[in-house]
Amino acid sequence: MTKKFIVNQMAATAKFNRSRRNLMLGMAGLAGTPTLVMAQNSESKKNTNTLWYRQPASCWEEALPIGNGRLGAMVFGRVGQERLQLNEDTLWAGASYTPDNPDARAALPEVRRLITEGKFKEATDLAGTYMMGKPLKLMPYGSLGDVLLTLNGAVQPAKYERQLDLATAINTTTYQTADGALVRETFVSVPDQVIVMHMTAEQARLSLELAYRSPRKVKYPSSDYQGADGLIKQAAVDWLKTELADELSAGSSMAAEGKDAVLITGSNEPGPDGKSGLRYALRIKLLTDGKLALSKGGMTVSNASTVTLLIAAATSYVNYHDVSGDPVALVRRQTEQAVTKPYEVLKTEHIRAHQALFNNMSINLGSTAQAAHPTDIRIAAAETADDPALSALYVQYARYLMISSSRPGTQPANLQGIWNEGTNPPWGSKYTININTQMNYWPADPAGLGACVEPLLRLVEDLAVTGAKTARTMYNASGWVTHHNTDLWRAASPNDGPRWGLWPCGGAWLCNSVWDHYDYSRDADVLARLFPVMLGASRFFLDTLIEDPKGRGLVTSPSLSPENSHPFGTSLCAGPAMDRQIVRDLFKNTVEAARLLKQETDLTVRIAKTLPRIAIDQIGKAGQLQEWLDDWDTQAPDQHHRHVSHLYAVYPSSQINVRDTPDLLQAAKNSLRQRGDLATGWGTAWRICLWARMGDGDHAHSILKALTGPRRTYPNMFDAHPPFQIDGNFGGSAGVLEMLLQSWGGEVFLLPALPTAWPSGEVKGMCARGGLIVDMQWRGGKLVSAILQGQPGAAVRADYRGVKMDVSLDAKGMHRLKLPA
């Protein structure tokens, strides 16, 4: 970088500061070159929305995530060699494909007959032969590899801190050596679509070597964390750890571009058929006041006081049937446009874009001395220590992860959001739609992040197209269907095997999830997009529901209660409770959408007439809510199964609730007690939501402490399934919000399950169904203030501890509730 360029950058920065003077004054301390203040003297630990640590990450589960919805990175904060592990949300394996199996149509009647006759194993074998998709496995999400920055002359620092500020979405690493202080700031910009790392040295000088490591297979989790006691262990600290940049993978290449950039190109991993349908490009632009040289393996910098990396990445993916994009042209344009802005501008515009969403909601559950400790220390003590601020941080971290992994125009958050280390992720890091993808979006609307649901709506719209082919080919049915998994290519057929994959309600549940999004926002445009999709899903079930031979009503067949085996050696069955509950919601929501849009037709009348014919929920002889149509629960081989599918009717639905169905609710409680409190990360999170919905805040809170402790949370606060799955983060945060505010059945419930552990607190910007925003304060376990905001004149029924309050919002769309003494 020339002196002339530095002068131009300084002049541009000065001009920007003058033109944005008021904004910059308001954001003092956020923008600009990092203040070189060491950890022990900084204010970072006092920021309630910050994760911070006194040592670098020794493995992936300690690194900190950053993202802009499309691009993601894991920042390790290492001293000897910084590592940025990269992801791009369309870099999946394989190519566009249609795995529908035409043999399924002929096999379907026989599979149904075998199920009716109780020949479940024979039905499973037949379905496995003729009714599964080809290929059987879907395509996995991938990785974009690693940028490795080896810092020459690195020594163990005297003082060290790394942190992730959730409010600014900036990762900062600061440390002190005998030569001076060094600071790195890293973020992923939404406005500029680049990863930015800015390094500064005070007195000390920066010398480094930049290398790139191609996507590769890795071990999950990357460290042997979990001991015999089930606790996650902190990895040993290696202050000067370095890793080798391997040879570029086959089909990849690296080339210098000008004097200050490198371009890496390659192809995605092949699918089972050997096809690679995507090209990817990664461009790294480096700016420095030191000496910069390009080499065969990357770039070297010496004698610098500042180094800035601008990293852009893209693939040729346009949509699930179009891969004609030009990723090379895109990454060149993005990096060259970003370089025209001073670092101050990049940073400030990034913060503005992030805070437009993050600042929608705040939460304070109180604080204790635990809050002063580093985040990993707090997590290690979470099961036994009193740390209400950790629960609030957990919610804000989930909101941060949502903003960083799902924005309008991006792919939806997958099993790992957008953060995945290797090309062989657990469960393919796909969209698992028998609970996990839906759980990802449970907190979005209540937490003021409805905008982040847009990618889910587009996923459903895509599946309505591919799933229509699946419905015709495999079921001879109209409408559309998808099963328990899908991927970037929108595969809709059954996969993995009949015991897991032959479940036809994935698309219906997705429709219900997006209906919930509409119900929170009451956005007419969302409803207009959603209605034809819901109508198509309903058509499929009108064609495929069958009469139970024992006269109990309409049921699905073949199907299963997700991933749980019944007593007869398989999972395949007819009419499990979850299916009946999901289809019941789908039909009800479709009829309501038609009414709102004034599009009632003979078809919607038929849906309405079919709705009450669906088999009802049953209470078994042990007093439990039956998971299956028959009373098999107490004989099932896994009495503590991670899925609690038959409790869908309690949460996220509200068919069974404390107000209207006391007997069924008691049966649901009996089932949940039998299942136990601790399951996989997401299974534990679902239990929190269920106990909260059932009004037992203390029980929900006790499970929350287990979820946020060292059995189910890694040091970087990622959920430990194990290994990492992001749904536990989202589901657990939804459980916290559910303890504070619920909206179902035409009412808004204030502090419906407040645990005794949070006697005082405050939330602002929480959302409820009906387009409502709710601010609340409570002291000594009692609500002291509640303000409702929404459409002017809107009628609201609020409930606080059984006291009903019917109010109308004023001309400004506000109402301060008069609370009972």
Closest CA to 738 of 727, 754, 726, 725: 754
Question: 292 pairs with which residues across the strands?
Answer: 301
CA distance 302 to 188: 25
Cα(163)–Cα(51) distance, rounded to whole angstroms? 5
10-residue stretch averages of pLDDT, the chain, 821 residues long: 34 33 28 32 60 96 97 97 98 97 98 98 98 97 97 89 98 93 97 98 92 93 63 74 80 91 96 92 98 91 97 98 98 98 98 98 97 96 96 98 98 98 96 98 98 98 98 98 98 97 98 98 97 98 97 98 96 98 98 98 98 98 98 95 97 98 98 96 97 98 97 96 96 98 98 98 98 98 98 97 96 94 76
Cβ atoms of 494 and 133 closer than 8 Å: yes
Length of the chain: 821
pLDDT score at 446: 98
Helix (H) or strand (E) run with residue 124 in it? helix 120-130
- Least Cα distance to 493 among 509, 504, 478 occurs for 504
d(CA 356, CA 30): 15
Residue 229: the pLDDT is 63
CA–CA distance, 174 with 134 (Å, rounded to integer):
51
pLDDT for the residue numbered 587? 98
pTM value is 0.93
State the pLDDT at residue 235. 67
The closest alpha carbon to 692, from 744, 739, 750, belongs to: 739
How remote is the C-alpha of 127 from its chain's centroid? 32
How many angstroms separate the CA atoms of 577 and 585, rounded? 13
Cα–Cα distance, 684 to 170 (Å, whole number): 30
Strands 795-800 and 803-808: what pairing?
Answer: antiparallel
CA distances from 385 to 368, 398, 812 (A): 9, 21, 44
Q: What angle do CA 632, 633, 635 make, to 5 degrees?
A: 70
The pLDDT tens digits of the residues spanning 568-604 come to: 999 999 999 999 999 999 999 999 999 999 999 999 9
SS (H, E, C) 718-745: CEECCCECCHHHHHHHHHHHHHHEEEEC
- Phi and psi for 226 in degrees, rounded to 5? -90, 120
How far CA 286 is from CA of 89, 111, 181, 673, in Å, comes to 24, 61, 21, 57
Report the amino acid identity of residue 664: L
| Alpha carbons 138 and 651: distance in angstroms, whole number | 29
Q: Are 768 and 753 in contact (CB under 8 A)?
A: no
- Residue pLDDT, tens place only, 284-301: 999 999 999 998 789 999
Helix axes 388-405, 343-358, angle to 10 degrees: 110
8 A C-beta contact, residue 97 and residue 145: no
Distance CA 816, CA 674 (A): 42
Residue 662, φ and ψ in degrees, nearest 5 = -60, -35
CB 577 within 8 A of CB 627: yes
Largest separation between any pair of C-alpha atoms in the chain:
85
